[in-house]
Amino acid sequence: MSLKEEFEVTDEKLNDISKRFKVRKSDVKLLHRLFSDVISGVKSHYLVDIIRSMEAYFRKETNNQSFQIRCEPAQDYPRVLHAGCAFYYPKKLIHIFFPPSMEEKQLRICLARELGHMFLLELDNNKKESGETFLNEKVSREPFSSIFGIFTIMDKNDFYANYARKLNHHSLEEIINDFVHLKGTARGASPDGVK
């Protein structure tokens, strides 16, 4: 069985989960449907880990716990026909738009570069307040936003190629067993049910 087949949700697997946890199959099916609604857009949340990390960084730097970075396709935005663009609302919000038809690999590059632009802009704004700047005003920020993007994609590739593999389960049975183990220990019992 391929890994894709191993982790594909089927009626048989939902039935097995309901038996292992002693709950009604109809409840497992309902929870799976609701879960599917929650994650339906997960594949469109590109670079979400770097975005959330940058939000945390900006919240600290700007002293604004509501600071947000939003990324979304620009349905009717003519300026971004072939590239992304970002709007910066100082100490409040970064809003990045991208063409909805952009190929996914290129989209990651586009977003990483736009994040670089915004990072440099915010960094420069914060440094100006303290009387220093990251870059001389005569130096173009353009190559540095691309360099930031390169660091971003390198980090993502390293995560998926090296680190994420260590976190993967190799079968559905392995996943279920880990959760059964967790369920037993959560109540103060050992995995075999002995207290």
Q: Average pLDDT across each block of 10 residues of the chain; the chain has 195 residues. List them in order.
A: 85 93 94 87 75 92 92 70 81 89 87 90 70 61 87 89 85 91 60 43
3-state secondary structure of 91: coil
**pLDDT score for 135:** 63
Start-end ranges of CATH 1.10.10 in the chain?
A: 44-166
Rounded to 5 degrees, what angle do the CA atoms 42, 48, 49 make? Answer: 130
CATH architecture of the domain 44-166 equals Orthogonal Bundle (1.10)
**pLDDT score for 191:** 46
- What sections of the chain are H helices per DSSP? 3-6, 11-21, 25-38, 48-62, 104-129, 142-158, 164-167, 172-186
Exposed e or buried b for every residue in 99-132, given b needs 16+ CB within 10 A? beebeeeebbbbbbbbbbbbbbbbbebbeeeeee
**pLDDT score for 161:** 84
pTM across the whole model? 0.72
**pLDDT score for 85:** 85
Q: Are 91 and 67 in contact (CB under 8 A)?
A: yes
Smallest CA-to-CA distance from 119 within 148, 80, 83, 156 is with 148
**pLDDT score for 43:** 59
**pLDDT score for 38:** 85
**pLDDT score for 84:** 83
